[in-house]
Amino acid sequence: MAIPITKRQKEVLDFIKKFIKKKKYPPTLEEICVGLKLSAVSTVHQHIEALAEKGYLKKVGNNARAIDINEPEAMVRVPLLGTIAAGEPIEAVQQKEFIAVPKTKLPVNGEIYALRVIGNSMIDENINEGDVVLIKHQSTADNGQKIVALIDNHEATLKKFYKSRGLVRLEPANKNYKPIIIQKDQELSIQGIVLDVIKSGGEIKENPTLFNDEIEKDDNLPINKIICGDALHHLQKLPDQSIDLIIADPPYNLSKGNHIHFNNNGLKGFGGEWNKVMENWDNLPLVDYFKFTAKWLKEVKRILKPTGSIWVFGTYHNTGIINLIFQTLGIEIINEVVWYKRNAFPNLAGRRFTASHETLLWGHAGEKRKYYFDYKQSKEFHDPSDLLKSQGKQMRTVWDIPNNKESREIEFGKHPTQKPLSVCKRIISLCSKPDDIVLSPFAGAGSECLAAKELGRKYIGIELDEKYVDIANKRLKYSKNQQPLFN
């Protein structure tokens, strides 16, 4: 199986093949440019570079016709079974998609699969978040081999295997993590050993199978669906200028030190309500978080209609990064809204103020500020629970909305950072029209999608974690179509 190429790259390749067949020598960049009616030689150059990188073309010499057709390296299809935690164990994986891997990277025999790494407990072995590990399925391992371990039949983790005097130790490659010692009453099964690592790299282009421009755009929008998968991947599939409103509630990157686990009873000293979140999806090194944010916001800019806009939830942990990337990408900030949570969880340690707000950045990427905003409705808007908004007066940038969830909002399960429907509905009702498409790229338990549905909008959700997809789907399935603005 060949590495996929974009439609345009295929056109360039076909042109070169035909040209060589006819003339017996390769075309110059200018000839390709003219032949394909492209506007710039630099664009042709980029396609040639990409085709060379993917093994379809090779450079021969330094003259103007220094390209030739190359038979691409033989590739094989390997199932990408999902994600694996190089950190705390996570739920066992399930098959989702396939990736193309050079045949030379694989052994002649054996069952091979791939997993994408989450977490940073293996960084000293140069296995980082976003990398893909190729695994050979086998149930035994030698000391020091990197394995996929399944603990108690449901938690999978990537670690180095050591067995001594009957005791199994799963060793991280990061001094900030402790080894996992398999206790006598625990069951360990080895699911395979790591054969190789496909680096994700920092740039979108560096990982052809996951984050590349070769992901073909899908003209059929997944309307009224929650996609289970990575937002970085699925955003790339959406066509240009296809979405009316995006409400992004991304990871805030505040779950530092994911070796600590505590629940609601153990909140002491952690300052704010949100500090109880301790999730792997919410714990990236700062530079990675920056890159991750820049990548998805770049796609956001591309897919928003000129009349569309984007809202991003945040706290001081990430809002500065979002703000900077908005400005860097040319997403104009329309407002910064403070969502005041009157009923915020008290600060128990007494070492800081009670954190009682979140920040929302509202931006647009179109020209001439064509973004949709129902000013009239915003003025007439009246929610009896908002003590800062009077009907008939302009809506201000501080919204007084209690962080309560009604019982119907949590009847199918909770999400640790679930947003109340009332916040989502305020945004949707003021920034979109009925039948518009609302996208929630980090859908969690689906609050934004449900709010969209209940207000007569279409929705698209993307969520990495199957258990939240499940909650979101149940909420959406059992909701009524049209519901009032206030719950």
- 304-314 and 188-198 strand pairing: unpaired
Establish whether 256 is a catalytic residue.
no
> Could you tell me which of 103, 54, 55 has the C-alpha nearest to residue 77?
103
- Does position 56 bind ligand SAM by CB under 6 A? no
**CB 76, min distance to ligand SAM, A:** 26
Could you say which of 146, 159, 301, 341 is catalytic? 159
The secondary structure of 216-272 as a DSSP string is ---SS--TTEEEES-HHHHHHHSPTT-EEEEEE----S----TT----GGG-TT--S
In this chain, which of 212, 417, 422, 432 binds ligand SAM, going by CB under 6 A?
417
Taking the CA atoms of residue 109, residue 199, residue 119 and residue 189 in that order, the dihedral angle to the nearest 10 degrees is: 10
Stretch that binds ligand SAM, among 29-37, 169-177, 347-355, 461-469 (CB under 6 A): 461-469
- Would you tell me the crossing angle of helices 447-454 and 466-478 to the nearest 10 degrees? 20
Q: Which two tokens stand for residue 230?
A: 């990575």
Q: State which amino acid sits at residue 368.
A: K
DSSP conformation class of 346: P
Stretch that binds ligand SAM, among 49-57, 134-142, 153-161, 440-448 (CB under 6 A): 440-448
Residue 281-320 contact track with ligand SAM, rule CB under 6 A, x = bound: x---------------------------------------
- The whole-angstrom separation of Cα 331 and Cα 194 is 41
Report the residue closest to ligand SAM, judged by CB. Answer: 444
DSSP conformation class of 455: B
Stretch that binds ligand SAM, among 90-98, 137-145, 217-225, 229-237 (CB under 6 A): 229-237
**CB 83, min distance to ligand SAM, A:** 10
- Does position 418 bind ligand SAM by CB under 6 A? yes
Phi, psi of 431 (to 5 degrees): -120, 10
DSSP H helices in 315-401: 319-329, 375-380
Stretch that binds ligand SAM, among 33-41, 176-184, 218-226, 227-235 (CB under 6 A): 227-235
Could you say which of 54, 121, 237, 255 is catalytic? 121
Q: Which two tokens stand for residue 254?
A: 């505040």
- Does position 134 bind ligand SAM by CB under 6 A? no
- Does position 445 bind ligand SAM by CB under 6 A? yes
Instruction: Select 309 or 417, whichever has its Cβ closest to ligand SAM.
Output: 417
- The whole-angstrom separation of Cα 342 and Cα 188 is 47
In this chain, which of 295, 364, 419, 475 binds ligand SAM, going by CB under 6 A?
419
- Does position 341 bind ligand SAM by CB under 6 A? no
Burial bucket for residue 363 (CB in 10 Å: 0-12, 13-18, 19+): buried
- Does position 255 bind ligand SAM by CB under 6 A? no
- Does position 464 bind ligand SAM by CB under 6 A? yes
- The whole-angstrom separation of Cα 425 and Cα 80 is 37
**CB 412, min distance to ligand SAM, A:** 11
Establish whether 407 is a catalytic residue.
no
Q: Which two tokens stand for residue 344?
A: 């915020």
Stretch that binds ligand SAM, among 51-59, 330-338, 415-423, 425-433 (CB under 6 A): 415-423
Number of C-beta neighbours around residue 15 at 10 A: 17
- Does position 469 bind ligand SAM by CB under 6 A? no
- Does position 442 bind ligand SAM by CB under 6 A? yes
Phi, psi of 334 (to 5 degrees): -85, -45
Instruction: Select 9 or 418, whichever has its Cβ closest to ligand SAM.
Output: 418
- The whole-angstrom separation of Cα 298 and Cα 309 is 14
**CB 164, min distance to ligand SAM, A:** 37
Site size for ligand SAM (CB under 6 A): 20
- Would you tell me the crossing angle of helices 286-303 and 319-329 to the nearest 10 degrees? 50
Active site residues: 121, 159
* Residues near ligand SAM (CB under 6 A): 230-232, 249, 251, 281, 415, 417-419, 442, 444-445, 447-448, 462-465, 468
